[in-house]
Amino acid sequence: MNKQLDSNTILAERDLQHIWHPCTQMHDHGMPGTGRVPMVPIVRGEGAWLYDADGRRYLDGVSSWWTNLFGHANPRIAAALAEQAQTLEHVIFAGFTHPPAIQLAERLVQLVPAGLDKVFFADNGSAAVEVALKMSFHYWLNQGHGEKTRFIALSGSYHGETLGALSVSDVALYRKIYAPLLLTPILTPSPDAYEGEPGESPAQVAARRLGDLRALLERHAHETCAVIVEPLVQCAGGMRMYHPDYLTGLRALCDEFDVHFIADEIAVGFGRTGTMFACEQAGVSPDFMCLSKGLTGGTLPLAVTLTTTRVYDAFYAEYASGKAFLHSHSYTGNPLACSTALATLDIFRDEPVLERNRALAAHLARRLEPLRDHPNVADVRQTGMIAAVELVADKASRCPFPAGERRGLRVYLHGLQHEALLRPLGNIVYFMPPYVVSEADIDHLVDVAKAGIAKALAD
Ligand SMILES: *Cc1c(COP(=O)(O)O)cnc(C)c1O
């Protein structure tokens, strides 16, 4: 083995000396060189490709945790960032403001569904969810409804991993251990089409699940601040997808029962589902919308929680009334991050991104179609630039593989050996590439995934 100073081996060894990685059992990486899962040092990115220290490359099939839209080291975003870095890197955001934040707020308000006219900045997705939860509770308190302290979330939901965001999440992997520390949400069954009855259409599942939600609201609306959902796709919960009718019905129920509608578009915003925002497909405006991930094209951490003038006005009063919204992060509205978000919006403005995505998504669908007949594939589903293949032990009963067999991990390891970054969620192999992939790139991802699936099922 060539042990040059910047080789994969040396960098991985140094990493494992000190770094504790997210979403990782560090034991998988073992002592340097011995683990079953390699630590991959990436030294450069270009377009949809990542390059490691040994010069091997990987097609980023997961957009680096769903953040990247227009490729790594995107020249246009990098130029905006460089210019901003030489102008103003950061300034306190209380009592002070700056042009990138002002422009970004103006442009976001124009882009999002109507009525979301106020923008609160934060610096990551979980924080944006915390802001929405606190603001919703505080709104009701300021209106004289301090008895509203609870939140309704969907089964299978994921809204982040800080204690508040985790409280309204229902993915056992992340939640179970910390449950004693969390608020108890009121869970309503997800409209997830995969969980429908045999023969039931996605629209019928949505209608039935709206019935469940109505029943829950009849009992709990008096103590409920808001219903929080991931519009159209529950991503971390397994790329589970549902019909837009659910969002239309949810809007009507929230109005009828006087609770807020929080749309967490952190993963699905910015064109992922085929429209700029997923809520558009249901023609609804939520009371709160959380955005992060793609907001900066995947360049820097930034998040916003958008809300209505009606919510804003409930906090707007004489100082002595004590009604102000107090939530502060040191890096709120960071100008560098805002400049990369503006460059990202420029790309959406200047290029036919959604149109191009439609063609790419159609190509991906064509390539995945044959997998429907695979004896261990229970479902192939897609919403825009998100597609997922659900692997099961038994197709007829949809009985899953035991989680401990870690078959998805085998697909991941196969991908690393064949120039693809695919990172299945359990036994769900999914594709969520940057929008700059070519049809040939998609072919590559699908071919590697198919071979990886064959390997994962081999014993
Ligand atoms: C990723 C994600 C979050 C959390 O965002 P972070 O920036 O990772 O804290 C919240 N909600 C959804 C739907 C997400 O996919």
For the chain, the domains span: 40-73+353-456, 78-350
Q: Using alpha carbons only, how large is the chain's radius of gyration in Å?
A: 22
User: Closest ligand 1 atom, CA of 301?
Assistant: 7
Confirm whether 40-73+353-456 and 78-350 share one CATH topology: no
- Which residue's alpha carbon is at the smallest distance from atom 12 of ligand 1? 159
In sequence order, the 6+-apart residues with CB closer than 8 A to the CB of 346 are 76, 80
Residue in 64, 168, 171, 292 to alter for ligand 1 test, most ligand atoms within 8 A of Cβ:
292
User: What's the CA-to-centroid distance between 129 and ligand 1, angstroms?
Assistant: 8
Band the pLDDT of 459: cuts 50, 70, 90: confident
- Which residue's alpha carbon is at the smallest distance from atom 15 of ligand 1? 267
Nearest CA among 329, 317, 375, 326 for reference residue 143: 317
User: What's the CA-to-centroid distance between 236 and ligand 1, angstroms?
Assistant: 9
pTM value is: 0.98
In CATH terms, 40-73+353-456 corresponds, of 3.90.1150.10, 3.30.70.2740, 3.90.1300.10, 3.30.365.10, to 3.90.1150.10
User: What's the CA-to-centroid distance between 425 and ligand 1, angstroms?
Assistant: 15
Higher pLDDT, 129 or 5: 129
User: Closest ligand 1 atom, CA of 126?
Assistant: 9
Amino acid 349: pLDDT:
98
Amino acid 2: pLDDT:
52
User: What's the CA-to-centroid distance between 239 and ligand 1, angstroms?
Assistant: 13
Q: Is the pLDDT of residue 71 over 60?
A: yes
Q: Is the pLDDT of residue 283 over 90?
A: yes
User: What's the CA-to-centroid distance between 125 and ligand 1, angstroms?
Assistant: 5
In sequence order, the 6+-apart residues with CB closer than 8 A to the CB of 204 are 196
Amino acid 213: pLDDT:
98
Residue in 66, 131, 151, 159 to alter for ligand 1 test, most ligand atoms within 8 A of Cβ:
159
User: What's the CA-to-centroid distance between 34 and ligand 1, angstroms?
Assistant: 32
- Which residue's alpha carbon is at the smallest distance from atom 11 of ligand 1? 159
Tokens of 87: 């102008």
Percent of the chain with pLDDT over 70: 99
- The angle, 0 to 180 degrees and rounded to 10, between the axes of the packed helices 439-456 and 353-368 is 30
Residue in 121, 277, 293, 305 to alter for ligand 1 test, most ligand atoms within 8 A of Cβ:
293
- What is the CB < 6 Å shell around ligand 1? 124-126, 129, 158-160, 230, 235-236, 264, 266-267, 292
CB half-sphere exposure, 129, CA atoms < 13 A = 28
Q: pLDDT of 341-394, one tens digit each?
A: 999 999 999 999 999 999 999 999 999 999 999 999 999 999 999 999 999 999
Query: Regarding the domain delimited by 78-350, which CATH topology (the fold level of the hierarchy) does it fall under?
Result: Aspartate Aminotransferase; domain 2 (3.40.640)
User: What's the CA-to-centroid distance between 267 and ligand 1, angstroms?
Assistant: 7
- Which residue's alpha carbon is at the smallest distance from atom 8 of ligand 1? 125
Q: What integer best gives the mean pLDDT of the chain?
A: 97
